[in-house]
């Protein structure tokens, strides 16, 4: 979707659909709407009175102008109660708006700034949220549908109206919003693409495209190199698959050499069948999205490069399939990890931690400022937190606080779980340094506990996005399927760091 920012007013703008916002519980129209309503013989005020438009979040009313103003239609969208409006209300409202605009058949529309400037929300934040909501709300994955005419025409252009004094701030915010939403859309594409196409080699191809962006360097380690280094975790998981594993390192240099990098490590299992500990058939197709963490790391590096953020970031992706082939790792096998530690694999379906462990050990060798890993790691996360919170565990309070803040800003919120030493008891093995499952209880915690043994003393946070990565229903700006949750969180965090 192309986004343009224009100077103009509600009464003089020619457009297919003109979007205006309204709060819940307001009895009268604000000044700009009053001016507009004069051309509508007071229809808008009347709809407020009768309760036809209450301003509830995501409520919409469409009014045809029949030539009374240059805009063909007015789309009134509810933002909820004024004191409760957040940036996410704005994203939701815009997600609702683009779908309503599509129903009219219009390909382009114009919106006034939704939700006024407050001490909590600047004009640039509001316009950023608007663009994020519009682009993400219009996302569809139709690449594999041969009859494109069934899908209708996409809405491909948005104009945002701004006053002269707001113009520059709206431009800054909408530019940022577009890049962030495009990053999340890329993640959705990568996760929607089935595993017969999006295999480890294709992920490398995607990384190659990203490395064309300014300041991004790509290194890919092949199996031979992994063997030489001793990446027993990644190699062990990949044994059951015909597809060779890959280890991708993307380095973005946006600051001086002395600035230590923030390292992002993303679980990239292009398909998780469970391996020999095979998963049940129901919903197994969703395991094509077990590469969400890695896709998000790729997209995040791309976004900070496009925004030319002033910091150094390294993205690390251990990439593999988890399959039950004849040479697959078996329950009871012992792997020697990159760090030198040994792990007894008691369940081959707990593969994410095995490949991440090697990714984290590799990260420590690059002397990072901090390490953040992101992964669709445990079904236990789904049980504990459901569809709306990312599980967060880590060893550094300051880093956790920063991610919490970025979560509130981006609408991709995190919730902390404890990482107490006592939980390590559950990971003890009789024959190796540890085992890869923690038995009954606290599955999200024991998985993180496992990872913590591979990060040394570096500040580190683990984000578990299992279950939040996939939406079972359509939401205002998140469709059914891959949500890309975590992408906007990571980008917001990095942009805050770069300030």
# residues contacting ligand BES (CB under 6 A): 17
Give the CA distances from residue 248 to residues 49, 306, 309, 363, 373, in Å, rounded to whole numbers and listed in that order. Answer: 60, 20, 21, 12, 14
73 a catalytic residue:
no
Is there binding between residue 236 and ligand BES (CB under 6 A)?
A: no
Is there binding between residue 266 and ligand BES (CB under 6 A)?
A: no
Report the C-alpha gap between 352 and 100 in whole angstroms: 40
Closer Cβ to ligand BES, 290 or 296, answer by number = 290
Which of 125, 296, 351, 373 is in the footprint of ligand BES by CB under 6 A? 351
353 a catalytic residue:
yes
Among the listed residues 423, 391, 421, 450, the one whose alpha carbon sits nearest the alpha carbon of residue 233: 450
Report the C-alpha gap between 372 and 460 in whole angstroms: 6
Tokens 């509830």 belong to residue: 56
Q: Which does 437 bind (CB under 5 to 8 A by kind): Zn ion, ligand BES, none?
A: ligand BES
Q: Residue-wise over 224-246: b if at least 16 C-beta within 10 A, else e?
A: eebeebebbbbbbbbbbbebbbb
Q: Which does 323 bind (CB under 5 to 8 A by kind): Zn ion, ligand BES, none?
A: none
Closer Cβ to ligand BES, 353 or 488, answer by number = 353
Catalytic residue (choose from 82, 171, 223, 279): 279
Tokens 């993303």 belong to residue: 266
Report the C-alpha gap between 484 and 184 in whole angstroms: 6
Which of 130, 162, 380, 449 is in the footprint of ligand BES by CB under 6 A? 380
For the window 305-344, what string marks contact with ligand BES as x by the rule CB under 6 A? ----------------------------------------
Q: Which of the residues 37 through 96 are near ligand BES (CB under 6 A)?
A: none
Q: Which residue lies nearest ligand BES, judged by its C-beta?
A: 379
Q: What is the DSSP string of 63-128?
A: EE-TTSSSEEEEEEEEEEEGGG--HHHHHHHHHHHHHHHHHHT-SEEEEPPPS---SS--HHHHHH
State in angstroms the smallest separation of the CB of 352 from Zn ion. Answer: 4
Q: Which of the residues 440 through 499 are near ligand BES (CB under 6 A)?
A: 443, 466-467
Tokens 């007013």 belong to residue: 9
Report the C-alpha gap between 143 and 183 in whole angstroms: 18
Closer Cβ to ligand BES, 16 or 272, answer by number = 272
Paired tokens of 222? 């092949």
Give residues in contact with Zn ion (CB under 5 A): 269, 272, 290, 349, 351-352
State in angstroms the smallest separation of the CB of 260 from ligand BES. Answer: 31
* Spatial contact of 486 and 374, defined as CB atoms under 8 Å apart: yes
Is there binding between residue 350 and ligand BES (CB under 6 A)?
A: yes
Q: Please give the positions annotated as active site.
A: 279, 353
Residues in contact with ligand BES by CB under 6 A are 272, 290, 347, 349-352, 376-380, 382, 437, 443, 466-467
């Amino acid at each position: 979707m192309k986004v343009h920012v224009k100077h103009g007013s509600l009464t003089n703008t020619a457009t297919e659909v003109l979007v205006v916002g309204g709060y819940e519980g307001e009895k009268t129209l604000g000044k700009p709407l009053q001016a507009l309503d004069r051309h509508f013989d007071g229809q808008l005020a009347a709809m407020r009175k009768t309760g036809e438009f209450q301003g509830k979040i995501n409520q919409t009313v469409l009014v045809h102008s029949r030539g009374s103003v240059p805009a063909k239609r007015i789309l009134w969208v509810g933002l909820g109660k004024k004191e409760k409006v957040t940036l996410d209300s704005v994203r939701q409202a815009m997600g609702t708006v683009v779908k309503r605009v599509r129903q009219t058949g219009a390909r382009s529309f114009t919106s006034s700034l939704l939700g006024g400037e407050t001490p909590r929300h600047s004009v640039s934040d509001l316009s950023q949220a608007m663009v994020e909501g519009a682009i993400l709300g219009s996302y569809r994955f139709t690449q594999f549908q041969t009859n494109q005419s069934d899908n209708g025409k996409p809405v491909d252009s948005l104009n945002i109206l701004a006053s002269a004094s707001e113009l520059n701030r709206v431009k800054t915010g909408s530019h940022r919003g577009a890049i962030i939403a495009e990053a999340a859309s890329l993640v959705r594409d990568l996760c929607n693409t089935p595993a017969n196409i999006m295999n480890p080699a294709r992920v490398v191809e995607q990384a190659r495209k990203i490395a064309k962006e300014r300041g991004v360097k790509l290194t890919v380690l092949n199996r031979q190199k992994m063997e030489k280094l001793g990446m027993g975790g990644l190699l062990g998981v990949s044994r059951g698959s015909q597809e060779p594993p890959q280890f991708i390192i993307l380095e973005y240099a946006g600051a001086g050499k002395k600035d230590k990098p923030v390292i992002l490590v993303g679980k990239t299992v292009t398909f998780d069948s469970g391996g020999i500990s095979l998963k049940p058939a129901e919903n197994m197709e969703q395991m094509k999205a077990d590469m969400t963490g890695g896709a998000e790391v790729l997209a995040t590096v791309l976004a900070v490069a496009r925004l030319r953020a002033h910091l150094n970031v390294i993205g690390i992706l251990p990439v593999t399939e988890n399959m039950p082939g004849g040479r697959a790792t078996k329950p009871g096998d012992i792997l020697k990890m990159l760090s030198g530690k040994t792990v007894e694999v008691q369940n081959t379906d707990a593969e994410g931690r095995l490949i991440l462990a090697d990714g984290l050990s590799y990260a420590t060798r690059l002397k990072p400022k901090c390490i953040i890993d992101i992964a669709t790691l445990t079904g236990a996360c789904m049980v504990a937190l459901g569809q709306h919170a990312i599980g967060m565990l880590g060893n550094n309070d300051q880093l956790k606080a920063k991610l919490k803040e970025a979560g509130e800003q981006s609408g991709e919120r995190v919730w902390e779980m404890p990482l107490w030493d006592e939980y390590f008891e559950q990971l003890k093995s009789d024959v190796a340094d540890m085992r890869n499952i923690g038995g009954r209880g606290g599955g999200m915690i024991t998985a993180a506990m496992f990872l913590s043994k591979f990060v040394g003393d570096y500040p580190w946070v683990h984000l578990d996005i299992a279950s939040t990565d996939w939406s079972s229903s359509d939401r205002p700006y998140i469709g059914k399927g891959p949500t890309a949750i975590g992408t906007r969180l990571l980008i917001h965090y990095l942009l805050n760091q770069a300030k």
